[in-house]
Amino acid sequence: MKNLLTIILLAVGFTTLGQSPETLEKLEAAKIALITERLELSPEQAERFWPIYRQFADEQRELRTEFQQLRQNHDPKKASEQENQKMLEQGMRIKERQLEMEKSYTQRMQEVISTRQIMSLRKAEADFKDMLIKRIRQQQQQRDEMRNQRMRNNESMRQRKN
């Protein structure tokens, strides 16, 4: 398990976790590797599982994007009570759609993999997300440390000149 986590972090590399296509491909490959290992998919299961999972992930991404766009165009401090109420209702509808979608795909996945594997899938997804967050924080900390070191070096150079 720890070897796989190391491989995933190496696959992601020391690049910034931005939105570049290469980075997204690396992240997707790492996620697939983690899920495949955790679920212990047989070749037959993998052949049937991955198309379902990819479709599920695509639809999840679309709903997240829809929700983000909805929130992006809304400032609760400037909006009227009615506008805020409408925003709450729209957000709830999106969450309801997410839940219905998850139920539907879980049923479809149960035709291919066991409930134990589905529970392992949920855990693997959460672990992957946690690893990414940890990695992003580490990279931010490294950037901050490098920036602080440059500032100290610049200050030291200024003092030497004076």
pLDDT recorded at residue 2: 52
pLDDT at 14 over 80: no
Read off the pLDDT of each residue in 39-54 and give the average, rounded to a whole number: 95
pLDDT recorded at residue 74: 87
- For the chain, the distance separating the N- and C-terminal CA atoms, rounded to the nearest angstrom, is 55
pLDDT at 8 over 60: no
In terms of pLDDT, which residue wins out, 162 or 151?
151
Q: Which two tokens stand for residue 32?
A: 């697939």
Is residue 160 very low, low, confident or very high in pLDDT (cuts 50, 70, 90)? confident
Each residue's pLDDT tens digit, 73-116:
888 899 999 999 999 999 999 999 999 999 999 999 999 999 99
pLDDT recorded at residue 19: 66
pTM: 0.73
pLDDT, mean over the chain: 88
In terms of pLDDT, which residue wins out, 7 or 132?
132
CB-count exposure of residue 35 (10 Å: 0-12, 13-18, 19+)? buried
pLDDT recorded at residue 1: 52
CA distances from 13 to 16, 23, 53, 114, 133 (A): 8, 9, 25, 33, 14
pLDDT recorded at residue 155: 85
Phi, psi of 113 (to 5 degrees): -125, 165
pLDDT recorded at residue 70: 87
